[in-house]
Amino acid sequence: MANLKEVKARIQSVNSTQQITKAMKMVAAAKLKRAQDNILQMRPYAQKLSGILKNLSALPGDDNNSTKYSEERAEDNILLIVVTSDKGLCGAFNSSIFKATNRVIENKYKKQFDAGRLTILPIGKKALEFFTKRGYNVISDYWNMFSPVSFEKSSEAAQFVMDSFVDEKFDKVEIIYNEFKNVATQLLNVEQYLPVERPEGAEDASFGIDYIFEPSQEEIVKELIPKSLKVQLYKAILESNASEHGARMTAMDQATDNAGELLKQLRLTYNRTRQAAITTEILEIVAGAEALGS
């Protein structure tokens, strides 16, 4: 049977761990509220802008600026933007992203990967560490996006990606991230970032969107498409940030419950061990008394 001192030490250790997980859960809940508000405010704007972006990219235009971000080429060079967190202790949040990235590479871009023409742009320290240690081609200039999250920092990364696509350094760009649904649920998303996807029916001659352009279609497209792409990346980062805090809150809540169950078992073990020790002492006293009486 376990030693009383050892059991007592374990109880103290688990109790300390439970206090830490409780505190981490409260911190994650506070951060989640702010992150959730940010993404809920951003979503309608980003979705509407994304719809306009796709429609504009499908409209005919003589200016090359209207089509350079929707140009489809042979997929020789691939860029994957992988969004994770800076810290751990958030359950399967990061590991699910890594598994999804490996599936995408294996199922879609195995040829490019084997030829060394697949590049990772990690956002989040965990993604940077994971892909750097495994020898991937990594662009390590834009990983620090979460301290704090800002549109300016994400815009720099988006501008780099857009310029690289226009210069034909990359022929296709995809984003892999966790989309926030609720505290307990994150949806894994793999979205095409570039080239801009045209809406269904855009090839049809009858396809048309009733837009009134002022001052001109070319000028509006030139300004709006880059801005929309920047918003799209920023939205993915906000989604991942909210998902991270939700995942950490859930993980810490489960860890706190598990610590509580373990404490119950340890206290039961402690009481049984203590009772056994007391019973042994009583038996020894009785045996000694009988020996003296005889």
- Tell me how far apart the alpha carbons of residues 15 and 2 are, in angstroms, rounded to a whole number: 19
Q: Which residue has the higher pLDDT, 27 or 273?
A: 27
- Give the pLDDT score at 205: 42
Whole-number average pLDDT of the chain: 87
pTM score, two decimals?
0.84
Query: What are the tens digits of pLDDT across the range 261-273?
Result: 999 999 998 888 8
Lowest-confidence region among 44-48, 49-53, 234-238? 49-53
Long-range Cβ pairs for the range 124-127 (8 Å, 24+): 124/82, 124/83, 124/84, 124/85, 124/86, 124/94, 124/240, 125/84, 125/85, 125/86, 125/87, 126/84, 126/85, 126/86, 126/87, 126/88, 126/94, 127/82, 127/83, 127/84, 127/94, 127/97, 127/98
Query: What are the tens digits of pLDDT across the range 177-231?
Result: 999 998 888 999 999 999 987 766 545 444 456 667 777 777 777 778 888 899 9
Shared-domain flag, residues 212 and 285 = no
User: How does residue 280 score in pLDDT terms, banded at 50, 70 and 90?
Assistant: confident
Count of domains in the chain? 2
Residues of the domain holding 260: 4-21+252-293
CATH number, domain with residue 148: 3.40.1380.10
Shared-domain flag, residues 208 and 197 = yes
Shared-domain flag, residues 138 and 59 = yes
Shared-domain flag, residues 84 and 139 = yes
Shared-domain flag, residues 175 and 198 = yes
Shared-domain flag, residues 256 and 241 = no
Query: What are the tens digits of pLDDT across the range 165-179?
Result: 999 999 999 999 999
Shared-domain flag, residues 279 and 208 = no
Enclosing H/E stretch for 191: strand 185-194
Shared-domain flag, residues 135 and 275 = no
Domain boundary among 250, 265, 281: 250
- Catalytic sites, residue numbers: 90
Shared-domain flag, residues 160 and 205 = yes
